Amino acid sequence: GAGVSQSPRYKVAKRGQDVALRCDPISGHVSLFWYQQALGQGPEFLTYFQNEAQLDKSGLPSDRFFAERPEGSVSTLKIQRTQQEDSAVYLCASSPVLPIYNEQFFGPGTRLTVL
Amino acid sequence: DAKTTQPTSMDCAEGRAANLPCNHSTISGNEYVYWYRQIHSQGPQYIIHGLKNNETNEMASLIITEDRKSSTLILPHATLRDTAVYYCIVRVGMYGGATNKLIFGTGTLLAVQP
């Protein structure tokens, strides 16, 4: 079946522009995560949804970052007034039911470059 | 969640077993050991997890020491496609709205050589 998909795969933005990154999780997956991966580093947690509820946003680096999942399926990560330090790969992962023991399924990521 | 320590990089000959170590000396009794890998330009992929018993699946084996302070991921017959960064992650599984986020370190870059 289809895995997690993300779009666009690549995004170039000028500093100060707003961007929106989309994640389509595996159908029926309750849990959805966003991670940020800087070059040469492991992914870092940004935020977590259970259905449409955003239960943890402790990893969002600033109030310029905003995530939503209004109908409990597709999620959008929005970054306002992008800065060069926002350049990274943004990964989305989903998991069925409660991710206590279950694996997280990752998408291919969106590579954001801020000029 | 407990911190993990892994070598930065390792080499392995194609067809041989790859043994990737991980130290997690501060692991708590209710924390699981997870392994993920990330092939270049792809998202991380789950490999295996365990609590205290050794585990095996179609991808790998996980050996956890009796004191649970360290573990080893074993790829029994490494292929070129196993070249990736391997992450050892320790986390608690919780119920009821807890995040269960994964905390990645920098992992081990395994290079399988032909």
The whole-number average pLDDT for the span B38-62 is 94
- Summarised one tens digit per residue, pLDDT across range A76-93 is 999 999 999 999 999 999
* pLDDT confidence of residue B112: 97
**A56 CB near a chain B CB, below 8 Å?**
yes
Q: How many helices (H) and strands (E) does chain B have?
A: 0, 9
Share of chain A above pLDDT 70, in %: 94
- Please list every residue in chain B whose beta carbon sits closer than 8 Å to the beta carbon of residue A105: 46
The DSSP code for B81 is: G
The region of weakest confidence among A60-64, A97-101, B22-26, B65-69 is A97-101
- Summarised one tens digit per residue, pLDDT across range B55-67 is 999 999 999 999 9
- Across the interface, whether the CB atoms of A108 and B97 are under 8 A apart is answered no
**A68 CB near a chain B CB, below 8 Å?**
no
From residue A70, alpha-carbon distances to A104, B15, B51, B114 in Å are: 21, 48, 35, 48
* pLDDT confidence of residue A17: 98
**B68 vs A5: CA distance, rounded Å:** 36
| 3-class DSSP assignment, residue B82 | helix
* pLDDT confidence of residue B102: 87
- Give the per-residue SS3 of A22-51: EEECCCCCCEEEEEEECCCCCCEEEEEEEC
CB B86 within 8 A of CB B114: no
- Please list every residue in chain B whose beta carbon sits closer than 8 Å to the beta carbon of residue A104: 44, 46, 102
- Please list every residue in chain B whose beta carbon sits closer than 8 Å to the beta carbon of residue A31: 100
* pLDDT confidence of residue B93: 60
**A100 vs B95: CA distance, rounded Å:** 7
**A90 CB near a chain B CB, below 8 Å?**
no
* pLDDT confidence of residue B72: 98
The whole-number average pLDDT for the span A38-58 is 94
Mutation site, B41, B86, B100, B108, interface A, largest A CB count within 10 A: B100
CB A95 within 8 A of CB A35: no
**A52 vs B2: CA distance, rounded Å:** 29
* pLDDT confidence of residue B28: 86
